[in-house]
């Protein structure tokens, strides 16, 4: 059970990053030159790179689960567990 809780969020994050990366292929449509298309492709991949850094750089090293919970007064309580 512990392994499932460890790997499930990471696999879901990788699938989500792959889904977001598909939108970068949109930069190849249009009448721009090839270097402009490559530049647009790289710019469209910036959110995926940020998420990859978060997924592999932060969560694998620290392994914190961060939960946001609302209490009775609708104030957010942030819980970090290891």
pLDDT of residue 74 exceeding 60: no
Cβ count within 10 A of residue 24: 17
pLDDT of residue 82 exceeding 90: no
Q: Which of 13, 27, 28, 18 is nearest to 59 (CA)?
A: 13
- Domain map of the chain by residue range? 2-81
Which pTM was predicted? 0.64
What's the CA gap between 4 and 20, in Å, rounded?
24
Higher-scoring residue by pLDDT: 61, 13? 13
Q: Tell me the pLDDT band of 30, cut-offs 50, 70 and 90.
A: confident
Mean pLDDT over 58-62 rounds to 63
Residue-averaged pLDDT of the chain: 78
All residues at 6 or more sequence positions from 79 whose CB lies less than 8 Å from its CB, including other chains: 66, 67, 68, 69
Higher-scoring residue by pLDDT: 31, 5? 31
Residues paired with 79 in a beta bridge? 67
């Amino acid at each position: 059970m512990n392994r499932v809780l460890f790997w499930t969020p990471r696999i879901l994050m990788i699938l989500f990053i792959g889904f977001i990366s598909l939108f970068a292929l949109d930069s190849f449509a249009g009448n721009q030159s090839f270097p402009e298309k490559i530049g647009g492709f790289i710019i469209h991949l910036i959110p995926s790179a940020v998420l990859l850094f978060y997924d592999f750089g932060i969560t694998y090293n620290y392994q914190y689960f961060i939960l946001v919970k609302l209490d009775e007064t609708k104030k957010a309580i942030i819980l970090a567990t290891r």
